[in-house]
Amino acid sequence: MAGILLLAAGSGNRFIAAGGTGNKLNAVMAKTAENSVTVFDATLAQTIASGLRVHVVTRPDNVPVQDSCARAKVPVTLAETGGTGESIAAGVRDTPDWDGWLIHLADMPFLTPDIFIAVADTLRSASVVRPYWQNTPGHPVGFACPLREKLLQLRGDQGARELIYSHEILRVDFNNPAVIRDIDLPSQLSARVSNGNMYATS
């Protein structure tokens, strides 16, 4: 079965330029009676709820993300670079027993577990699987085991884009904009967590 490779090594420069403080993955989206829920916490919770294996790639200096993973007992790969290609390659290298990878971005906390499950199930019959919402491509992008060596060779900020478009893509349409919705700006943090599900308050 495929697992979820959660990329959390970006620096979030656009978030900071728009007035945000620190790494956006550590920005608080909601507060509960027990603790505060960050962007990363919310995304991680959704991936874990899918029942699929999860592996996180993050920066050595992002201690809050590493602490969240330790609490959830989720393995972590530390990547010095924030380049998407290197992050994917590092994560694939450290998950040699997986037979497929769902590449997901840690700033996309709105996906529900059923989306991950659907992409993983579809990946059994395709090399590349990508979710869409109204003709817009989204995440997670699924790669089957035969593409492992090519994933290991990825470099740069373009990530797996060339790899995606050099293979036939099996498209999965969802009636849910969560597959394209991320947190890029401080104004997008106005969301709440309820029973593991994310929903906007404005």
What pLDDT score was predicted for residue 199?
36
Question: Which of 110-114, 146-150, 166-170 has the least mean pLDDT?
Answer: 166-170
What pLDDT score was predicted for residue 31?
73
Q: Is the pLDDT of residue 61 over 70?
A: yes
Q: Is the pLDDT of residue 33 over 90?
A: no
Q: Is the pLDDT of residue 35 over 70?
A: yes
What pLDDT score was predicted for residue 69?
98
The rounded mean pLDDT for the chain is: 86
Q: How far is C-alpha 185 from the geometric centre of its chain's CA atoms? A: 17
Q: List phi, psi (to 5°) of 171.
A: -90, 135
Residue (of 115, 84, 99) closest to 6 by Cα position: 84
- Domains assigned to the chain: 3-187 (3.90.550.10)
What pLDDT score was predicted for residue 22?
61
Residue (of 160, 96, 169) closest to 128 by Cα position: 169
